[in-house]
Structure 1
């Protein structure tokens, strides 16, 4: 892809995957493969991340030509040339639809289990066989009770009871009640590996298979001592936090517990996301994410990164209550209590949709400009092809007219009457004008196709060269050229030469009969910073100043072609040369008093090394 994300090459595998042909993919923006189609905001954001890091990997839905979807792994990489210049991007698409389906089914099973576990917060969960021996062990059980799985699996669950409870045969009664009623629940003292006791909430559930045979128990335990301490610290933190952020309306600010459930809500969150506090508190924050992000495990990934690094920050699409999308800047920060225990997260959201829409409008304007540039380039290519035809197909007939009229002049002129001799002279003059005009068209049209190296130009030396080249005409007209010393500029020497040659030649050509031409080439003092303003003034025949802009158009002549020779392309060529150098050219003129051309050129060109 090029610098803007437009596809410049695609292999047959990409065509097969997207159902576009290789030709259709060419010059197609990569956002056409996004879901929704044409999501340029997300596409440009991911390309910006690629440019920043050198590569970027993601997974998600991609849109095929027939508007169906496939789940793809996408790998963007930056491309550089040998000089480390940034050329664009490569994109690798890998169809992961089958794996996604399998992962989705597995995630559904895991989600059912996770929802069961997360329904009782911070509980240690493990299984017992029908006699009460431990079969499984989770991280929560290890954290609360202090035993590793290898230490406790196979032991009897009475290990966790106090001596008094064992004497009263309390564990046996709990299992019996669970079998009779389906569940046993209580709060009481339990014993950790190190011998300390903690106040626990315990739920024992009897488990039966599909033949209604008793196969064991599930046991869920939570340390309520830490919960009381944590909740008290959290309550104090919430009060301070609430007083600080409750009135902020430009930012959605809220707290989540360690599992990602919303536990408070401010006015900004209500305004941005659309939910009342009563509607959202207790819900998982994944409710704000598009389906694709949820399938990709993005919410859980963000919490993991925040927990590992302290903070997670990004921009991306989020979902309001009404289902509409908005582009959000989000920051998730892990929160710890005074004892260093992780107690949840803070989340700050800002709606950047208006800003992104403005950026997108600007980007669309750029895209329109890009299309216009392509059209202009195509027009220039057409013009160049026309010039090629002119330089070959049109020149040949003109040369033959010139050749045979010369032979007629040399071999048969004495045989022609005076009027016939006049006709021969007119044929020769017309042929000369035609050849000159064809050459002018070729020069004018080929200017855009030239990419020439920039050099520092000594304008004083260049003007001396022009005087030498026009020496015969200057002497014939008895002209005088008065010039100030000019500063150097950066440009293409052959083009700058052509510019001043045409202007000086015009001043000599359009001089008044009987009055020697006086041409002044001065540097104006009011030029903008980093620019040079040069005036070329003559005392010639001048013209009506209402034509001051028209004379720079191609084939424009203000005088009869019999009175003054020329093609009408000289000043058009001057204007194109000046604009090619990022400058301007204007003229002021008075009839019978002369003309002043004002040329403004940058001292240094704003291009790498050529134009």
Structure 2
């Protein structure tokens, strides 16, 4: 330590280093600095970052860095992937457009360097932002990858086959095996999209972001002690492995839970009423309730129509408005009940398969929607799509919902244009990949669009918000899936994956 009054400055003083860094960044107007925690949340927004992008520290600190990405890129997981790559290699680079305070896009390069604690665990990141141009960036949204096969490939690396869970790069549950669902004592579908920390507790006091970064830096699976959140279940040992695709690209993580003990099935006569019913029983109860609700609802609609015809002239203006609102609510409820029944039938109806020419099938759908198509001048550009063995009624419903949505949610003063083509490069003997693209006004929330009964509050129509959920169910019933490849204010591009079904009726394909 330099004696006080010597005129020299102690170089170990942190304030000196901070001042020197600020002075350096002032000479680099296109560079900025911020600090993230291990989950990618902004811990410190340097004054240089305020100068570069305009956001004040109070506005962005405590927010994930992804919130500064354009909306269409926030679900790509490219930034979380770069953070994990920085953990594994000591440094990573990420290029993207960032949104400035006034809403413009500025193309930037982000250099990422991990910060570690005394145990060499990653506790955060230093991020150097460098603006490479003020121009708007065109950000391609890559198609979602089917990671189920990759998770199963990770299972082959284990000596046994424990219960497994897939975790995406944002720390959300992306897949759950049957053994893990039993261990969690929940329906596998109920956990999808939930944060892993809300379902699985680490017993050593670590946090999930820290152990995920620890996993990508390890050359072998790391061992964890885990238990389901909020239960008295015994602690289990789990192994965490990075999930990598072709070329070593990080796609997420697989959690392998060693659940060796098995419990006998409970006596049906002793099941507590608090224990959830199985999915088949739940579905049967929902169907019965839906059917029972239809009759009193029809009477309500009939009474509302009679009142509107006979009593409306004697009502006040406010009374007439309330009567119209009542009838509209009853009609929408009837539509929602119909949607519930349609969704249930997708899962429960036997599959009567046949060979179908997809172009002929779509022509039939266009004939059914002829009045809607003619009214709005919808145009079609459809390639030769080939044939598939599937359930005709379901596949007709699939394309009818997609086309109906494209026209219903068209942009004002723009004629609907729908393009359908096959991706021959990715197709196989029994798998068809179809790109469906429209020029409608886009989808506001990709996170909610496939959830039943979720709909755009500003859509101005009487839809139930069930169409795309129904479409995804049909694709999955045919062994594939439905994804949004791109959406913005000028249109949406879907990817449909369909597999030919076997001739015999049977259980749902996996």
Q: Give 1 or 2: higher helix fraction.
A: 1
The TM-score bracket by the shorter chain reads 0.3 to 0.5
Query: What TM-score, normalized by structure 1, do the two folds share?
Result: 0.38
Structure with more contact order per residue of length (Cα contacts < 8 Å, sep ≥ 6): 2
Query: What TM-score, normalized by structure 2, do the two folds share?
Result: 0.45
Structure number, greater radius of gyration: 1
